[in-house]
Chain A
Amino acid sequence: MKKSVFLGTLVATSLLAGFASASTLDDVKARGELICGSNTGLTGFGAPDATGQYMGFDADLCKAVAAAVLGDASKVKYVPTTGETRFTALASGEVDMLVRNSTWTFSRDNDLKLDFVAVNYYDGQGFMVRKDLGVSSAKELDGATICIQTGTTTELNLADFFKTNNINYTPVTIQDDAEGQRQFLAGACDAYTTDASGLAALRATLPSPADYVVLPEIISKEPLGPVVRHGDNQWGDIVRWTYYALVAAEEKGITKANIEEVAASTNDPEVKRMLGLEGDLGAMMGLDKEWAKRAIAANGNYGEIFEANIGASTPIGLARGLNAQWTQGGLQYAPPFR
């Protein structure tokens, strides 16, 4: 409690300072570079490759915003942030936006004075066990030892879940993902718990994935999305609508490959408005007409980004699930471009 008051005060102080200065959009344009707070390394979502380029699901959103605002998807500087430094880095203006698997919660939104502008991945906490344990539901894990990262919300979710179901467990605390994988493989714990996307990535890299199963229960809601500072609504809108442009593009069947063709031939008035052929939506938030076109052309639409980084064709092999379009039974739903 005291810590959050302290952090809140700090954030408020910086906000006051922030109001006095120019808007984030002007800063980014003047700098000619978008500074994106990223993870220090999360499989499939954001990690540097062998040449040092950041790749991944979250990194592609940064590139799309850079393409929309600056006209060049490569004008992004990624600042790796840890769980401790991420929100302060954003609040103090060190980064323009944070795209780093951060869960949207009430207190982060209100107490820390941040704005979660969209949800680009609906995640949830799950369990993985060895097949020969013979468990088919998390509720059968009574008395199990469970590997869990310390100091995360997953630890609290786990305690809540076992309390509600009136069963017991023994936690085996681990420091990070790599250690967890080792402990779980060595048999130090019966079950491993983390976000479902993390479990999928873990299972894909085990020596014999077929020997392990992910249990069906998802015990928490983890809506992950891009975060901006409170109080700069124009910038928040730019990030939000760049993201929705990617989602809408998938719904309308606009891809990286066919975008020029669609722009030339489409009769859909919404697509025309979005791609800047009719009206001037970009001007309403301080951008030019073709902002959304550039954002989509950078890495493709939402579905393409998903497939390229974490989808079924990659080793991680995540199914769309909750992250499918609303037309396909998922939760990804872009408001109308009007």
Chain B
Amino acid sequence: MTQSSMSFVRDKMLTQQKPPVSEVGAVRWVRENLFSSPLNGFLTLISLYVVYWIIASSLPWFLNGVWTANSLGECRQIIEANAGPGAEGACWAILRERWHQFLFGFYPMDAYWRPVLAFGLMLMALAPALYYGLRRVNMLMLGTVSVLTLLGMLGVGTDGFHLLLSVVVFAALFAVAALMPKKLLWLTLVYPLVGFYLLWGGSVWGPVGVAIGFGLLVVVWNKLQSRLGAVVAGGIAVAVALIWWLQVQPMVTTPLAHMMPIRLMSVDSDQFGGFLLSFVIGVTAVSASLPMGLLLALGRRSDMVFIKSVSVVFIEFIRGVPLITMLFTASLLLNYFLPPRSNFDLILRVIILVTFFAAAYIAEVIRGGLAALPKGQSEAADALGLDYWQAQRFIILPQALKISIPGIVSSFIGLFKDTTLVALVGLADPLQGITKMVRADINWKGVYWEPLLFVGVIFFIFCFGMSRYSMYLERKLKTDHR
């Protein structure tokens, strides 16, 4: 025996062993997340059972779904033939036959390309507002939306001329986005008129006249602002624009319409329905209520008694009344105050009142953001010699709006979903109005879940999209280092 062999010194490294099976990979994850305590394990088992139960009871219904049939009775026969007697299945054929009514209501069928194009352009007009000056994002968004819009237009059967025209417009917009992305904001500015013209149709000169009015307003304001101050110049500019719109414009546009009759078939707003109606009401109310709410919020914090009390009364009155009351006011009560047989569009009435409703809520959300700013911010602005509007624009609002983003977006999501309430005043919203009309067809009477699922999925896509965007915006604008 040698000395060395007696010593208890390890001269070789042990090979690395694998970690215990309970500490790695899926097993560890399950242990830590699902079965970390008896209570959690119990809850996990219950949840698994609930998930299993939901899938087991609804999966056959989805798998047996029928897409081609002419009535619910036919659907039932096909399901019985395929899956045996007593089997239940979805009758998606109702969507196959009526999908266009869920999307467009009673909009003339050969003009479906107009709402599709208007929707595509709306997304494009949003891009520069949402991602101002970001060349790559703008190009990506414009490119994707162009392709999707063209596919959509092909899907609803657009004629070659309008398709070609759209391709040219999209290509031009894409070029602008690639070369000077900031100029794309012009699209956002003119979009309301373009959208109006596409959806309602009529002579092109009406919207052009309105645009000229706005042009006059801006030019006059710019010329006078330095000499007379913002408020007086604004007043004069508005007066000039009003004179143009009410007096001069008809004299100019009517002859123009005769000389160059560029027009689209005009569509009455009572032909709007389904998601088209929801979007028209939702998008108009959202985009009009944001500036209105901003002014109301500033008004409520103002020192001027009159402005302050007007804002407070407006906000508190509107917030004190349910939206349904506003809708009934729009549909029933306003008729009694208008001259007899005056035909003031119901959808317009609804849009105005929904906008007021949203503006009151947005105003309070923004006021929350304003209140969160320390007083030093506005004092600093004063010390720099900025006037009230400059202070608001450069110092106060950028910070206050950033704080208010989650609140604003959730107001918008709520508003968008609330547009389905218009069914109560007889408008054809997708959830109740169109669904009820479609179910009244003897062929589809008795279909229950399918339309609701379809409408629900579309609403989810848009609301989820809005919510993700608000999260992106919060990350992008985050300046603290928490």
Contacts and interface: CB of A to CB of B under 8 A. Distances in A.
Nearest to B108: A52
B439 A41 contact: yes
A215 B426 CA distance: 33
A310 to B, nearest CB: 9
Contact of B441 (A43, A92, A206): A43
Given A43-B442, A85-B332, A20 B426 contact: no
Contacts of A46: 440
Contacts of B83: none
Interface of A is mostly: mixed
Given A77-B270, A181-B446, A41 B436 contact: yes
Contacts of A10: 336
A201 B335 contact: no
**By CB atoms of chain A within 10 A, which of B76, B436, B445 has the most?**
B445
A17 interface: yes
B159 interface: no
A47 B433 CA distance: 11
Interface string A197-229: 000011011110000000000000000000000
Contacts of B76: 207
Given A88-B332, A176-B436, A182-B448, A93 B442 contact: no
Contact count band on A: 35 or more
Nearest to A27: B341
Contact of A88 (B105, B335, B428, B439): B335
A48 to B, nearest CB: 5
Nearest to A47: B440
Contacts, number: 110
B425 A41 contact: no
B437 A48 contact: yes
B109 A201 contact: no
A316 B445 CA distance: 11
B340 A14 contact: yes
Contacts of A52: 101, 105-106, 109, 271
B409 to A, nearest CB: 31
B331 interface: yes
Interface in B419-441: 423-428, 433, 435-441
A125 to B, nearest CB: 19
A14 B441 contact: no
A177 interface: yes
A36 to B, nearest CB: 12
Contacts of B340: 14, 17-18, 20-21, 93
B442 A205 contact: yes
Nearest to A207: B76
B110 to A, nearest CB: 11
Contacts of B447: 178
Nearest 9 CB-CB pairings of A with B: A41-B440, A47-B440, A92-B335, A41-B437, A52-B106, A205-B446, A205-B445, A17-B340, A41-B436
19 contacts: A14-B335, A17-B339, A18-B340, A41-B437, A41-B438, A47-B437, A47-B440, A48-B437, A80-B426, A80-B428, A81-B426, A84-B328, A85-B331, A85-B332, A85-B426, A92-B335, A182-B448, A202-B446, A204-B445
Given A47-B441, A176-B436, A201-B445, 13 more contacts: A41-B438, A43-B442, A44-B442, A49-B441, A52-B109, A79-B426, A80-B433, A80-B437, A84-B424, A88-B332, A92-B332, A182-B448, A316-B442
